[in-house]
Amino acid sequence: MKKNIISLLMVLTLATSAFAIPQKPKQERLVNDFAQVLSGNEERALEQKLVRFDSQTSTQIAFVSVKDLEGLSAIEMAIRIMEEWGVGGSKDNGMVIVFKPKTASSNGQIAITTGYGVEHLVTDALAKQVIEYDFIPSFRQGDIFGGLDKGTDVLMSLTTGEFTGQQYLDKHQSGGSGIGGFFTLFVLFLIFSGFGRSRRVGGFGSRGSSLPFWLLMGMGGGSRGGSSFGNFSSGGGSFGGFGGGMGGGGGASGSW
């Protein structure tokens, strides 16, 4: 009798867990827009970008939008999706982004959880900063795809070592204000004041420019969000399916 009760409780627990998160589609995809927050073209563009990144790095970034969190926190749902869907390859280097849109009665929610294979590159604290710096500002303006495009660019760059977490944080802490803002204004002043036409500075200007080499380097821009990670923004192919799922059990979330 006792064994039967325990078995029944286990079945009920599994059933509740399965009901709480979206079922994995039969045709596995990296972009699963159950809440329909993206247009058809946006969904295809994001899918192609993530598929290409997976095919070239084996790191899977899965995006899942839901209309309701079913009583879970966003990070709890992200962790369950990673484990039950098996997001990640044989090295468990996967990430899950869960998104719930803002409604008249509830805030928007986003969460990121990482697998064992990438959690040392995108720590919980760093994931929180990416959410606050790169995802949410666009979401607040109603640009869901723009936030996802920008935020996933940063996650890709972090996992491939294009820049470190500390470099990312340093850039945001100085960019657009304080010394960083003053530097930008100084460069613009030099450009529009005709400084470059008056003389070459120490012979370090590049060909066709009279600005010093270090100024030209500082002016070199990347793609949106400060990331120059553009190699995975187009192209695609077909997604081979999930095959990991061991997560670190943590992550970060934010709301707006």
Q: What share of the chain is helix, strand, coil (3-state, %, to 5)?
A: 50, 10, 40
Alpha helices in 68-143 (DSSP H): 74-85, 124-130, 136-140
Residue 242: per-residue pLDDT: 77
Could you give the CA distance from residue 84 to residue 116 in angstroms, rounded to a whole number?
15
Q: In order along the chain (256 residues), what is the average pLDDT of each group of 10 residues?
A: 48 52 90 97 97 94 96 95 89 94 96 94 95 97 98 96 89 59 47 46 39 37 40 53 71 96
Beta bridge partners of 109: 100, 255
Residue 183: per-residue pLDDT: 46
Residue 92: per-residue pLDDT: 87
Q: Look up residue 131 and give its two tokens.
A: 């959410």
The CATH number covering residue 122 comes to 3.10.310.50
Could you give the CA distance from residue 104 to residue 56 in angstroms, rounded to a whole number?
41
Residues 157 and 39 in one domain: yes
CB–CB of 96/127 below 8 Å? Answer: no
In a domain, 240, yes or no: no
In a domain, 7, yes or no: no
In a domain, 192, yes or no: yes
Residue 6: per-residue pLDDT: 45
Residues 148 and 200 in one domain: no
Residue 196: per-residue pLDDT: 44
In a domain, 5, yes or no: no
pTM flag (> 0.85): no
Residue 171: per-residue pLDDT: 86
Residue 141: per-residue pLDDT: 97
Query: In total, how many domains does the chain have?
Result: 2
Residue 54: per-residue pLDDT: 93
Domain around 82: 15-164
Q: Look up residue 176 and give its two tokens.
A: 């657009």
Could you give the CA distance from residue 25 to residue 16 in angstroms, rounded to a whole number?
18
Residue 217: per-residue pLDDT: 35
Residue 106: per-residue pLDDT: 95
End-to-end CA distance of the chain: 49
